[in-house]
Each structure stands twice: as C-alpha cells, then as structure tokens.
C-alpha cells in the first residue's frame, strides 16, 4: 500500500467539507477531539533547543489543530495527500499570511517551504500505514534533519483493539486500521534514527490511540 492510495480521497466536491462538519459531531467523538487537543498542546510544549518556531502539520486535515498551533506561536506548513483538505485548511478565515498549505505525500521528501521546520505534528496517519517499511519511511521523512515529532499511532494493547477485531470478524471484513505492538513501533522508531521521549494514552486501557514525542537519537 502506498500513501498515495488514500483511504479518504474526498472525490465529490462537497465531501471534504461534509467530513469536516460531521467527523467529530457525536458526544464521544467530541470528547476524543477535546482530549487530542490537550495532548497535542502538552507534548508540543516540551522544550526543544533546536526549535525554530516552524512546524509541519501532516496530515493537516481540515485544520483541527491550526488554532492551537497559532496559539502556541508556530509558523505552520500544512500538508495533506488530499487537495480537498489542503483547500479547506488554507481557506481558514484566520489563515496567517506567513503560513502555507500544499498537497504532499509523507513517503516523499517534504516540499521546500516545509523543509526548514524543526517540529512536526502527525495525528491519525500511522494507523493507515499497514506495513513496517512504509512506517519507517514515513518516520524518516518526518524526522528530516533533526526534527522533533509529536504523533499518534494505534497500540494493540487496549480494549479498542479486541472490540474492533471482534466487530470486523462478525461483519466478515478486515480491520482497516493497523494496531501496532509497542515493541514493534519502538523498533521502527529506532530504525528511523529516533527515540521515544514521552508516551501518553488517549484513554488508558480503552482507546488504542497513543501519543508519543519523538526526538533524534
């Protein structure tokens, strides 16, 4: 599977905006979104001596984290494989002229304007990369020349893992999200020349989403 083969291509003209309006509309999803904002802020606040105030938001989606990044005084390079998401992000009514948004693939070198960034925010991508070699390649792209990374992946040690597997088995379908054993993830991080500084569960024991802060070794 290549990253260009999107699991959410938004081919219809209004699909991207409909996704932005409905994705976090339910009660539990609003709670998830609130918790994600808190964890992103907590990990991005971690001191990093090489930080130059420039961050890559990849995949940027429709801009959920943009207000937080501006609140934290980052210059933002927003990247997504979906042009629909890039268009929504850059159309934000408070989109700063110093920022930019463009289509990009995490399996390719970052665009020139994003390359100088020393931090990366990468939320809800790695559960869609089902092969270790792709995840290592993506980590290498994100890490670049000494970048610190705040990212998420789905760990297999949770109730979420077993309920998802059981539900898909009953439906006769394959699980679309990849849940990775902790040891396997840490091995991939090491292969990419990185180390885990911090690890926080979205909801410990319940949800598979795990937030990590990665830094160069």
The chain-wide mean pLDDT, for the chain, equals: 86
How wide is the angle at C-alpha 43 spanned by C-alphas 138 and 29, nearest 5°? Answer: 80
CB 121 within 8 A of CB 49: no
pLDDT for res 18: 67
Q: What is the per-residue pLDDT for 92?
A: 87
Contact 117, 123 (CB under 8 A): no
Residue 75 near residue 53 (C-beta atoms within 8 A)? yes
Confidence at residue 1, expressed as pLDDT on a 0 to 100 scale? 36
What does the pLDDT look like over 150-207, one tens digit per residue?
999 999 876 665 565 555 566 666 656 788 999 999 999 999 999 999 999 987 777 7
- 213, 197 Cβ separation under 8 angstroms: yes
Q: Are 122 and 211 in contact (CB under 8 A)?
A: no
* Other beta carbons less than 10 A from residue 24's beta carbon: 16
- 132 contacts 188 by C-beta, under 8 angstroms: yes
Q: Are 124 and 19 in contact (CB under 8 A)?
A: no
Give the Cα separation of 216 and 140 in Å (integer). 10
Whole-prediction pTM value?
0.84
Residue 106 token pair: 């995490």
Q: How many CB atoms lie within 10 A of CB 34?
A: 11
Asked if the peptide bond before residue 30 counts as cis, ω within 30 degrees of 0, the response is: no
Give the tens place of pLDDT for each residue, 102-161: 999 999 999 999 999 999 999 999 999 999 999 999 999 999 989 999 999 999 876 665
């Amino acid at each position: 599977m290549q990253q260009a083969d999107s699991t959410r291509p938004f081919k219809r003209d209004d699909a991207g905006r409909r996704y932005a309006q409905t994705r976090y509309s339910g009660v539990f999803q609003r709670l998830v979104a609130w918790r994600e904002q808190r964890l992103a802020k907590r990990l991005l606040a971690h001191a990093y001596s090489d930080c130059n105030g420039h961050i890559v938001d990849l995949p940027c989606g429709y801009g959920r984290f943009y207000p937080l990044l501006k609140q934290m005084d980052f210059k933002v390079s927003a990247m997504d494989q979906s042009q629909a998401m890039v268009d929504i992000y850059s159309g934000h009514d408070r989109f700063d002229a110093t920022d930019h948004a463009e289509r990009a693939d995490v399996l390719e070198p970052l665009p020139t304007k994003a390359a100088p960034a020393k931090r990366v925010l990468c939320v809800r991508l790695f559960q869609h990369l089902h092969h270790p070699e792709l995840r290592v390649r993506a980590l290498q792209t994100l890490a670049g020349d000494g970048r610190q990374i705040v990212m998420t992946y789905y760990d297999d040690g949770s109730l979420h893992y077993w309920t998802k597997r059981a539900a898909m088995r009953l439906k006769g379908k394959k699980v679309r999200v990849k849940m990775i054993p902790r040891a396997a993830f840490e091995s991939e991080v090491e292969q990419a020349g990185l180390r885990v500084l911090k690890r926080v569960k979205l909801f410990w024991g319940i949800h598979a989403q795990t937030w990590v802060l990665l830094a160069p070794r």
